[in-house]
Every structure is written in C-alpha cells, then in structure tokens.
C-alpha cells in the first residue's frame, strides 16, 4: 500500500517539478500491483494449507483457510476447540483449564528452498510431529484421553509465498480434556 501511495504522490510531484525518479515511482506502483495480484490469486485458490491427520485410521486433506500467506495465530501449548475432526480455520483458542479437545504440540518451520513435493513434505511433517510427541505429559490427566496426532502443513502455493510451517497438534478422540497435555 505504501508503494502505491508514494508512487502516485511522486508521479504528481515529478510532473509538477520536472524532477528525476519517474521510473522509480512507476516501479513502486507496479510492485504494489504485482503483490496485490499475487494476494488475489492466492485468495482465489481458496486454501493455502491443508491438514493431514496421522494415524492408522485416516489421512485427510481437509483445508486450513489462511488468507494470503500469513500463518495462523496459534502458538505451542495453546488449547483449542477444534470444531470438528481436525485443526481448521474454525478452531477456537481456549484457556487450557476449560474443556477442550485439542492442543498445539509443535510448530516446525521448514528451511527455505524449493518445495519438496507433497509426499516428501507429508513424510517430513509426520516425522517431525511423531518426534514432538515427547512433549506430552505422562501420565495424562484422568481419565486418560485417547489422542490422535495430527498436523497442518503448507501447500506448494503457500510455500512459494514464504509460508513453510507444519503445525503439529493432538486431539482428544472422545470428549473433552481439562488442563494442558504438555509437559511443564
């Protein structure tokens, strides 16, 4: 937005005073237009990330809505009402001392570089999230919940926009949990 405003102001000033810098002003406007077009294209695709839930019973591709390429505002340790079978844009952050059915276990930022492909990135996400299970408390709060380990990961489009995260979470398969599932 700044490039557009400053570019337009500069063009008017250059026209009035005859100063140099017309190409730079146009460049700022063009850069703003290019970023806007990219953002609109990402929104038109509708989904910039999808979830794959690990476990013998399912592997899902349900989308996680993330406007633009910005990561969702979740942090390790946050407790959630998942509002369904997996972490999604509908999930609600709750205090851990209230009944909840999910918790963010780990956030992994993949290193920059070319997109590794869906299969390779899913395998990497599964490995990272399995290792993150070491963060779980033992014993779990009574009655011990049956947990499913899941993750959300960036798509190729989101990767190209700079969003390269894997969000690992645990979900209580039956009922709700009170208290954190993570070690202190």
List pLDDT tens digits, range 106-115: 999 998 899 9
For the stretch 69-97, pLDDT in tens is: 334 567 899 888 887 777 777 778 889 88
Least confident of 36-45, 54-63, 159-168: 54-63
Can you give the pTM of this predicted structure?
A: 0.60
Burial grade of 12 (CB within 10 A; 0-12, 13-18, 19 or more): exposed
Burial grade of 101 (CB within 10 A; 0-12, 13-18, 19 or more): buried
- State how far the Cα of 135 lies from the Cα of 155, in Å rounded to an integer: 26
Are 122 and 160 in contact by the 8 Å Cβ rule? The answer is: no
Could you tell me which residues come within 8 angstroms of residue 105 by beta carbon, excluding any fewer than 6 positions away? Answer: 76, 129, 132, 133, 135, 136, 149, 168, 169, 170, 181, 182
């Amino acid at each position: 937005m700044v490039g557009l405003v400053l570019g337009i102001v500069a063009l008017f000033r250059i026209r009035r005073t005859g100063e140099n810098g017309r190409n730079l002003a146009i460049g700022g406007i063009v850069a703003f237009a290019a970023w806007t077009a990219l953002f609109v294209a990402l929104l038109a695709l509708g989904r910039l990330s999808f979830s794959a839930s690990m476990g013998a019973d399912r592997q899902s591709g349900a989308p996680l809505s993330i406007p633009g390429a910005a990561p969702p505002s979740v942090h390790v340790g946050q407790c959630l009402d998942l509002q369904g079978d997996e972490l999604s844009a509908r999930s609600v952050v709750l205090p851990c001392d209230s009944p909840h059915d999910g918790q963010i276990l780990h956030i992994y930022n993949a290193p920059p570089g070319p997109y590794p492909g869906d299969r390779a990135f899913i395998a990497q996400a599964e490995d990272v999230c399995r290792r993150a299970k070491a963060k779980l408390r033992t014993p779990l709060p009574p009655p011990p919940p049956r947990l499913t380990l899941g993750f959300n990961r960036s798509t190729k489009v989101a990767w190209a926009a700079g969003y390269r995260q894997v969000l690992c979470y645990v979900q209580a398969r039956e009922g709700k949990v009170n208290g954190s599932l993570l070690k202190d």
